[in-house]
Amino acid sequence: MKTSMIIAFGLVLAQSAFAAPIVTSWTNPECATGSCEVKGLKLFIDKVAAKTFSANSVSAEIETTEAKHLTKYGIVQYIKGCHYSKTPQGFVRYSIRNSLAKSVPFIHKDWEVDSGDDVDPLYWSNDAAGFDDLRGYFVPRNSGYAYANPALTDNWGSWAGKMKNLKANKIYITDMPTPSTWSISADLTQTAVISSLKFRTCVYEISKIPTAISDAKVVFDGAIGCLEWSSNYEYDFAKRKFVDMGKEISEVCR
């Protein structure tokens, strides 16, 4: 499922007033040569830099040729890298995160499913998916996806699996990874908490993705299209500033 976010980071995002994000896209080549259902995938990446923390956030867009196809497709996101604290003297300690309802060291040396507390590998999955006897309709696993782009507007919400809620043949998820932070205590001890992470965001046919996994160290076959992005900020203690390392993950994570 993974819908958690850092509150302070979210506040800074709100203050950025939707500055123009960096957009990357994948277009389904099958649409040019024949029939297709998924037209493409886009990532809208926001970079946020502050004195005491820095990070990137993303909004991912799935577009289909017809609205009715949206119930069939969703995102599986993979993660590589780590989150750790360090001092100017080089002391390093890995953070702890929740993965598939377990607490584990926050280090992923190879691609793993990024699913947070939830055992369903589908990103932003609805644990109440299935036929709703009370309302008399089927609730898709991606019903929690947004009907508008959270990177461009604050007027968005869940499409709830209802065609009437859609604004276009598009649905969205967002991710706000834990940021890199820096602090100094009263005794002048400096600590940096580094988020050196990269992600692979992929579109799949939902029916081909299991509803539960027991091990995050898996990459599913059959991705329709994928795009990569990162949230990877190192801290320079000498200059007291964050440095965007792009997709080159820290050697601490390897």
* Chain segment 34-58, per-residue pLDDT in tens: 899 999 999 999 999 888 999 999 9
8 A C-beta contact, residue 84 and residue 194: yes
* Per-residue confidence (pLDDT) for residue 117, from 0 to 100: 87
Indicate the average pLDDT of the chain.
91
- Residue 53 located in a structural domain: yes
The two three-digit tokens of residue 111, written as one number: 């691609």
- Write out the two tokens for 49: 């830099």
CB neighbour class for 159 (10 Å; exposed up to 12, middle 13-18, buried from 19): buried
pLDDT, residue 137, reads 76
pTM recorded for the entire structure: 0.91
Q: Is 129 left (phi over 0), alpha (psi -120 to 50) or beta?
A: beta
In a domain, 46, yes or no: yes
pLDDT (mean) for 92-105: 92
The predicted structure's pLDDT at residue 2: 53
CA distance 214 to 72: 24
Q: Is 58 a domain residue? A: yes
Q: How confident is the model at residue 15 (pLDDT cuts 50, 70, 90)?
A: very low
Write down the pLDDT at residue 12.
46
pLDDT at 11 over 60: no
List the single range of 12-16, 86-90, 161-165 with lowest mean pLDDT: 12-16
Confidence label for 3 from pLDDT (cuts 50, 70 and 90): low
Structural domain contains residue 106: yes
Domain around 159: 10-216+224-253
Whether 3 is in a domain gets the answer: no
Tell me whether residue 5 is in a domain.
no
Share of the chain above pLDDT 90, in %: 79
Domain count, the chain: 1
pLDDT at 5: 39
Q: In a 3-state reduction of DSSP, which class is residue 246? A: coil
Is 81 part of any domain? yes
Residue 4 lies in a domain: no
Task: Give the residue-averaged pLDDT of 128-133.
Answer: 79
Higher pLDDT, 181 or 1: 181
